[in-house]
Amino acid sequence: MYILIFLALLVSLVGINIDRTPKYSKPPAQKPTAKVVPQPTSKVAIGDPNNILVVVNKKRPLPDGYAPTDLMGPLRSEAKKNLDSLISGANSSNVNLKIISGYRSQSSQATLYNSYVKRDGQAAADMYSARPGYSEHQTGLAIDLGNTNGSCDLEVCFENTTGGLWIKANVQNYGFIVRYPNGKTDITGYQYEPWHLRYVGIETAKAIYASGKTFEEYSGLPPAPNY
């Protein structure tokens, strides 16, 4: 009896409520973390011919006589390994692709370009062939692909072949983009080439594919319709 009275007196003196439970304070809701999307490439990267993100177009030539030091046949080593995976991936989907053209030296490009100028005139040649020193093929990061049966090689109709359809839907997963998309000639400077792929790395390729932009637009560069 005396003990109960003593406890009641003690509680009233110190202000303790023995029936009070700790109040749960819910932490403030955290804002959802935005999905990380690769940002446009830096000016250092797009201007470095040894960087896989280098941008080469009619306004951005390569250093005179440039040649990559890590070529493995038609492409630089990293790009070649991913190209091998791309071709294997296509094969697993019963799509058979072949390499038509890869790395070209500046002198080889000059020979090719001059032959086109002689045949079609410079204005026409400039729409589908780069002048020497301005070709992506010289970087060792560009490749032209076709169907093994030769269907629509280097022609716009390639886009509707089995190879062209597979390329359009899948190459970003292997680090490649269709460099000269349809309807973007005023930006890239070249006619639509569904067979011409450019290696930029898997992360960047997926980001460019998702954005629907050209390499120029994604890199924050102005259009390059002419020299």
The residues carrying an active-site annotation are: 193
Within a 13 Å sphere around the CA of 115, how many CA atoms are in the beta-carbon half?
Answer: 6
**CA 172 to the chain's CA centroid:** 7
Number of CB atoms found within 10 A of residue 19's CB: 5
Q: What is the 3-state secondary structure (H, E, C) of the chain?
A: CHHHHHHHHHHHHHCCCCCCCCCCCCCCCCCCCCCCCCCCCCHHHHHCCCCCCCCCECCECCCCCCCCCCEECCEEHHHHHHHHHHHHHHHHCCCCEEEEECCCCHHHHHHHHHHHHHHHCHHHHHHHCCCCCCCHHHHCCEEEEEECCCCCCCCHHHHHCHHHHHHHHHHHHHCEEEEECCCCHHHHCCCCEEEEEEECCHHHHHHHHHHCCCHHHHCCCCCCCCC
Closest alpha carbon to 114 in 101, 130, 127: 130
